[in-house]
Amino acid sequence: MPSYNKLVRDRIPEVITRNGKKCSTRILDNEEYIKELKKKSFEELEEYVKAQTDEEAIEELADILEILHALADVHGSTMREVDVIRKSKAEKRGGFQDKVFLIKVVD
């Protein structure tokens, strides 16, 4: 029986049971939850980086977005508020659409 010891989506235990398997779970406290969300964000980002196709990349971006929603929530915010901050930063500093690659800065 494999051990995973990681944060999973809410309905994964249901999916496992539906597939005729058994699993054990526990509910994390808030401190553990934030720590595991942060770990999960790196896991999903790594999966995005390894994506071979646009379809795989979009799937992984959706997972990252789900984690971002959860992180905003645990920090007492919403994705709407996060997007307001994103837009403000884009107005002040720009976005990434122009593909600018900074080589060096000379004093």
| Rounded distance between C-alpha atoms, residue 107 and residue 86, angstroms | 29
CB 68 within 8 Å of CB 91: no
In the chain, count of helices (H) and strands (E)? 4, 0
Q: What is the pLDDT of residues 16-75, one digit of tens each?
A: 999 999 999 999 999 999 999 999 999 999 999 999 999 999 999 999 999 999 999 999
Cα dihedral across residues 70, 73, 77, 81: positive or negative: positive
Judge if pTM exceeds 0.75: yes
